[in-house]
Structure 1
Amino acid sequence: MQDEAARPQAVQEIPVTTKKSNGTAKPAQRVIKKYPNRRLYDTDTSTYITLADVKQLVMDAEPFTVRDAKTNEDLTRSILLQIILEEEAGGAPMFSEAALANIIRFYGHAMQGFMGSYLEKNVQAFTDLQAKMAEQSKTMTPEMWSQFMNVPNPLMQGMTAFEKMQEQMQKNTEQLLGAFGLKR
């Protein structure tokens, strides 16, 4: 089991309670109950919702948890994995078969915790870079975009540095795995 202290902290702190429009306090984290008939019930809106609605909560960065209606077991990871499965099965998958096979190979392996942490940190770094670019692009005019595309830009250099860091991390990982007798 990975040490909780080693896991990256959430980017956004979640308040303990917030106020509804009528002035009453509500829990900051939305609770969705999953019933044996596989239906999802949003206790915040008192309505049944779909997996697509849960995906929208993720997209909107809404804090939520999914609980089994009978046992109160936390099913959030299971639901998130189900959303990923549907996304991968549709249109343009994010992961190649080779990438998925490599991820599977890490389960039960001594490096499983390292791999999870590695993926989590890199996805967070990519998300942070994407947010920074989105923030900077809000103020850009078409002329500025033209200059951005034609002139070396510090942000683009940052992306190049990020790519180089990724390449170096990949080389280091391959060397480390080689030391354990694991090759690609």
Structure 2
Amino acid sequence: MTSSTKPSDTPGESAGATDATELRVVKKYPNRRLYDTRTSSYITLAEVRKLVMAAETFVVRDAKTGQDLTRSILLQIILEEEAGGAPMFSEAVLANIIRFYGHSMQGYMGTYLEKNIQSLMEVQAKLAEQSPMMNGMMGTYLEQSKSAFAQMQEQMQKQTEQILSAFGMKR
């Protein structure tokens, strides 16, 4: 979706830049529209998803304040994908992730998920290179990863309960 009127760029941003090394900037306006400064056009959330899928490096900034809104937009994309019929996360997984916020293991959990997903992507890339018939192995890997994650969470829950009970506190 393009517009005939182009919002003014902030100093230092070139709207029509095509240099792949330059960080792509998407501005979010108060009317909730997203403006791609590289293509000088308004884009949809689906188009931002395409940038993610293409491994494009970009940042989403509030048009007025310059605040980084990238995480918020990425979470919005995940929310739409989860509501779209084939969710990746069960309610139990989402509830367990929420339980890690404010928990002493919160920092560890983010790192654990990031490394696990990166490993999965590397395995997926290697499998795609080797043979399309090996995709069945991905299902096995995912099941093993899910099981390992559940075991880790169960173990951390037990350890937390032991620590709290040692101090006379119950969770």
TM-score tier, shorter chain, comes to 0.7 to 0.9
Shift of 1:176: 3.2
Give a deviation string over 1:33-70, Cα, whole Å, max 9, x none.
00000000000000000000000000000100000000
Q: 26, 38, 45: which one pairs with 1:51? A: 45
Q: Distance in 1 between matches of 2:153 and 2:100?
A: 13
Whichever residue aligns with residue 175 of structure 1, its letter is Q
Q: 138, 151, 160: which one pairs with 1:180? A: 160
Percentage of identical aligned residues: 62
Shift of 1:86: 0.2
Greater Cα offset, 65-74 or 120-129: 120-129
Unpaired segments ≥5 residues, structure 2: 1-16, 163-171
Correspondence list, 1:164-175, <5 A: 167-168=147-148, 170-175=150-155
Note if 1:39 corresponds to 2:19.
no
Whichever residue aligns with residue 95 of structure 2, its letter is A
Unpaired segments ≥5 residues, structure 1: 1-19, 150-154
Query: Secondary structure in 1 aligned to 2:67?
Result: coil
Whichever residue aligns with residue 94 of structure 2, its letter is L
Size of the alignment, in residue pairs? 146
Note if 1:101 corresponds to 2:101.
no
Query: Secondary structure in 2 aligned to 1:104?
Result: helix
TM-score with structure 2 setting the length = 0.74
TM-score with structure 1 setting the length = 0.69
What is the aligned partner in structure 2 of residue 89 from structure 1? 83
Q: 18, 23, 28: which one pairs with 1:29? A: 23
> Cα distance 1:168–1:68, how it changes in 2: closer, same or farther (>3 A)?
closer
Give a deviation string over 1:144-177, Cα, whole Å, max 9, x none.
x5xx79xxxxx95x98688657645643442233
Q: Provide the alpha-carbon RMSD of the alignment.
A: 2.8
Q: Distance in 2 between matches of 1:115 and 1:163?
A: 19
Whichever residue aligns with residue 103 of structure 1, its letter is I
